[in-house]
């Protein structure tokens, strides 16, 4: 018995694929599947988080629709994967947020926070909206900004870690050597390089069935753009509190050196991924997760765009409004992070760590002289 119809369908497909095994060289899903004869809900959640929805197994499969076997691995695993984000969310009472984390709600949250900050500034010091001094902290004092954003960031980290812990335990990663240094290192390398996104080496498939590697490029730009922006904020906070060196920073100082390429990555990457989303073959995607995916990409894009705009408009009277919008977007991004697409990075890393441990154990158990 399975918890959902999506899990039931995933078990049916994995049973068919386990007999066929034609796709075993395409990605990590099939070798992981071959180590199992039965598929529990946790096994299927693990396998679904190994899948990148590249579409190669759909295009290659002789049993994909309109065949009566109706084998559609990318779509079914995408559905199971989306359900798994909700199932492992922490705290449990916030699980329904996954159903509402669409584009409209996220944008409304960002605009509400921006309006609140603007309203507060107008009440406190209306001149801040017309000044061209580039003084960010006239809009909101630095200590209040740090306390507010620090609190929401800490909550997001706590919720993400707790959700990841539940996932890790349920898929059984805690009972094998998935937490060892070598497997974590291997999983980190596989995740950072998106090793299994390329459909066995050719790239991702779209409507025209011509594989390309562009999705990997845009994913890298989004991920590393986010990391660089995070580094810019962290170094800015360090300079402010530990070296008594407040913003704004010069073009050759660390917050800018991290922030500019990070912001550019957060604009180009999400735009490319949004475009890729609209050109994917509809039959192999999960329509229910479209809103959550676009909300996540839109928030990443708006974070990069408003951050870059703020840098350009810093010394103009538009600084106050631009800063309020940027802060609203970042606040909404943090707030929705544990209940949206952002969690996929953590779960994928956990699944890759278990995969690395299982493959290592399997190689160790194989009789000497057998093919690896």
27 binds ligand SF4 (CB under 6 A): yes
Least distance in angstroms from the C-beta of 282 to ligand SF4: 15
Contacts with 19 (C-beta within 8 Å, 6 or more apart), sequence order: none
Least distance in angstroms from the C-beta of 262 to ligand SF4: 28
Least distance in angstroms from the C-beta of 113 to ligand SF4: 37
Contact 352, 47 (CB under 8 A): no
CA diameter of the chain: 78
Contact 264, 303 (CB under 8 A): no
Least distance in angstroms from the C-beta of 22 to ligand SF4: 4
Mapping DSSP onto H, E and C, the string for 2-26 reads: CCCHHHHHHHHHHHHHHHHCCCCCC
Question: Which residues 36-75 are close enough to bind ligand SF4 by CB under 6 A?
Answer: 51-57, 60-63, 71, 73-74
Contacts with 179 (C-beta within 8 Å, 6 or more apart), sequence order: 173, 353
190: number of Cβ within 10 Å: 20
Least distance in angstroms from the C-beta of 266 to ligand SF4: 25
Question: Which residues 185-214 are close enough to bind ligand SF4 by CB under 6 A?
Answer: 196, 199
Residue holding tokens 């990070």? 262
86: number of Cβ within 10 Å: 17
Task: Specify the residue, 71 or 139, whose C-beta has the smaller distance to ligand SF4.
Answer: 71
Question: Which residues 76-95 are close enough to bind ligand SF4 by CB under 6 A?
Answer: 77
Least distance in angstroms from the C-beta of 9 to ligand SF4: 13
Task: Specify the residue, 71 or 329, whose C-beta has the smaller distance to ligand SF4.
Answer: 71
Size of the site for ligand SF4 (CB under 6 A): 26
212 backbone dihedrals φ, ψ, rounded to 5° = -140, 160
Task: Specify the residue, 71 or 302, whose C-beta has the smaller distance to ligand SF4.
Answer: 71
Q: What residues line the site for ligand SF4 (CB under 6 A)?
A: 16-17, 20-23, 26-27, 29, 51-57, 60-63, 71, 73-74, 77, 196, 199
């Amino acid at each position: 018995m399975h918890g959902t119809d999506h899990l039931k369908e995933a078990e049916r497909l994995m049973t068919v694929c386990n007999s066929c095994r034609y796709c075993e060289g395409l990605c990590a899903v099939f070798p992981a599947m071959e180590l199992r004869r039965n598929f529990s809900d946790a096994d299927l959640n693990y396998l679904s988080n190994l899948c990148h929805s590249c579409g190669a197994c759909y295009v290659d499969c002789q049993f994909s629709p309109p065949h009566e076997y109706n084998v559609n691995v990318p779509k079914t695993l995408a559905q199971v994967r989306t359900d798994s984000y909700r199932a492992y969310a922490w705290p449990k009472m916030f699980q329904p947020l996954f159903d509402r984390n669409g584009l409209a709600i996220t944008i409304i949250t960002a605009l509400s926070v921006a309006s609140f900050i603007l309203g507060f500034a107008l009440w406190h010091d209306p001149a801040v909206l017309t000044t061209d001094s580039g003084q960010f902290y006239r809009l909101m004092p630095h200590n209040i900004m740090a306390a507010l954003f620090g609190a929401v960031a800490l909550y997001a980290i706590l919720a993400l870690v707790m959700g990841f812990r539940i996932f890790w335990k349920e898929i059984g990663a805690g009972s094998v050597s998935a937490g060892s240094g070598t497997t974590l290192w291997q999983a980190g390398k596989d995740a950072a390089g998106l090793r299994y996104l390329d459909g066995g080496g050719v790239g991702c498939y779209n409507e025209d069935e011509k594989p390309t590697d562009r999705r990997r490029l845009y994913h890298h730009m989004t991920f590393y753009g986010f990391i660089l922006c995070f580094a810019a904020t962290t170094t800015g906070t360090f300079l402010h509190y530990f070296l008594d060196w407040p913003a704004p920073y010069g073009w050759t100082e660390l917050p800018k050196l991290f922030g500019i390429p990070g912001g550019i990555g957060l604009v180009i990457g999400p735009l490319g991924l949004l475009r890729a989303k609209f050109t994917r073959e509809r039959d192999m995607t999960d329509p229910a997760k479209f809103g959550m995916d676009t909300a996540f990409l839109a928030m990443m894009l708006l974070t990069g765009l408003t951050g870059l705009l703020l840098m350009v408009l810093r010394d103009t009277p538009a600084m106050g409004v631009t800063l309020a919008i940027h802060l609203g977007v970042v606040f909404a991004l943090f707030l929705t992070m544990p209940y949206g697409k952002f969690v996929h990075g953590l779960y994928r890393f956990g699944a890759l760590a278990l995969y690395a441990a299982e493959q290592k154990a399997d190689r160790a158990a194989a009789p000497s002289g057998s093919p690896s």
